[in-house]
């Protein structure tokens, strides 16, 4: 049997590490994996990638590209009996999915900063159209609101280090006072660290930074990044196993745990 993966750009660290983990698990089981890139965003881009997979006669497919509830439901409906498993959608939706809990991940990061006494917290969210970016942002805002706080700034980036760098330069130039930044992924956090270094703001003495993902390189940033761990190996294994079960008619959604990993950018 052949498995398919429709994925967000593999130029991004998280999707590429997720794809590697999926490929590994598929290989261990003796299955081959065919990949199709989702070029751009939204349901049409996904539909195109799924068509490419179907043309290559895959028996079922994983979709790691951001899709809101309705778009995911429409794609699943159009697929009929062809099994689809979603890896980047709203956990409150109706389609089968294997996901890390975005609300829990966001809460972990925000509580860590609140426990350390931070009150002036800036938010750097991910791409505005991404459902996961939206849910992480909502989770941060809820945690701050529960502590009687509002973020001192809310900015968005495209998940890249370059954008993390640029957005932090803008935040610094705006004169907004902040002692901590919650960043929606580690790649953007890499750029945040450099912008803070260049501005002479020592980390963590003057500014704390919390990332999200715990990609393979994040422990080697300088300082080593405090972040919210999503275990991509686990995701890859569970996604393949769940899809295989789904192809036998027993597809069950799964929520995977996240955990705060405390390193050198906070404390």
Question: Cβ 204 to ligand IPT, closest distance in Å?
Answer: 22
Query: Interacting stretch for ligand IPT, rule CB under 6 A, among 9-17, 19-27, 48-56, 189-197?
Result: 9-17
Nearer to ligand IPT, 25 or 179 (CB): 25
Cβ(107)–Cβ(257) below 8 Å: no
Question: Cβ 160 to ligand IPT, closest distance in Å?
Answer: 9
| Residue that is written with structure tokens 């996604």 in the block | 239
Query: Interacting stretch for ligand IPT, rule CB under 6 A, among 10-18, 46-54, 77-85, 138-146?
Result: 10-18
Nearest to 216 by CA among 197, 229, 205: 229
Asked if 66 interacts with ligand IPT (CB under 6 A), we say: yes
Beta carbons within 10 angstroms of residue 78's beta carbon: 12
Rounded to 5°, the CA angle 27-39-35 comes to 15
Nearer to ligand IPT, 132 or 179 (CB): 132
Size of the site for ligand IPT (CB under 6 A): 15
Asked if 37 interacts with ligand IPT (CB under 6 A), we say: no
Beta carbons within 10 angstroms of residue 142's beta carbon: 14
Encoding tokens for residue 140? 């941060």
Asked if 8 interacts with ligand IPT (CB under 6 A), we say: yes
Burial of 99 (0-12, 13-18, 19+ CB in 10 A): buried
- From candidates 141, 179, 185, 242, binder to ligand IPT by CB under 6 A: 185
Cα separation, 242 vs 163, whole angstroms = 35
SS3 263: coil
Asked if 159 interacts with ligand IPT (CB under 6 A), we say: yes
- From candidates 3, 5, 6, 12, binder to ligand IPT by CB under 6 A: 12
Cβ(124)–Cβ(164) below 8 Å: yes
- From candidates 96, 107, 123, 132, binder to ligand IPT by CB under 6 A: 132
SS3 159: coil
Asked if 87 interacts with ligand IPT (CB under 6 A), we say: yes
Residues that bind ligand IPT (CB under 6 A): 8, 12, 14-15, 64, 66, 87-88, 130, 132, 159, 185, 187, 212-213
């Amino acid at each position: 049997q052949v498995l398919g993966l429709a994925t967000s750009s593999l130029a991004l660290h998280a999707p590429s590490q997720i794809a590697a983990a999926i490929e590994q698990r598929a290989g261990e089981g003796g299955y081959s994996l065919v990949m199709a890139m989702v070029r751009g965003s939204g349901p049409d881009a996904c539909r195109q990638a799924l068509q490419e997979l179907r043309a290559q006669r895959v028996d079922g497919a994983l979709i790691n590209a951001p899709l809101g509830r309705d778009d995911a439901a429409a794609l699943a409906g159009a697929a009929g009996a062809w099994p689809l498993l979603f890896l980047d959608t709203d956990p409150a939706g109706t389609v089968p999915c294997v996901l890390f809990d975005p609300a829990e991940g966001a809460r972990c990061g925000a509580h860590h900063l609140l426990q350390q006494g931070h009150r002036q917290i800036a938010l750097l969210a991910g791409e505005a159209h991404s459902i996961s970016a939206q849910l992480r942002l909502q989770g941060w805002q809820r945690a701050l609101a529960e502590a009687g706080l509002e973020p001192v700034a809310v900015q968005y980036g495209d998940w890249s280090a370059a954008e993390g760098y640029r957005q932090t330069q803008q935040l610094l130039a705006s004169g907004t006072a902040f002692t901590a930044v919650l960043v929606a992924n580690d790649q953007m956090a890499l750029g945040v660290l450099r912008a803070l270094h260049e501005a002479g703001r020592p980390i963590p003495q003057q500014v704390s930074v919390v990332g999200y993902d715990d990609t393979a390189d994040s422990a080697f940033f300088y300082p080593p990044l405090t972040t919210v761990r999503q275990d991509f190996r686990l995701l890859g294994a569970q996604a393949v196993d769940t899809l295989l079960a789904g192809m036998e008619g027993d597809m069950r959604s799964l929520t995977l745990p996240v955990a705060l990993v405390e390193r050198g950018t906070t404390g």
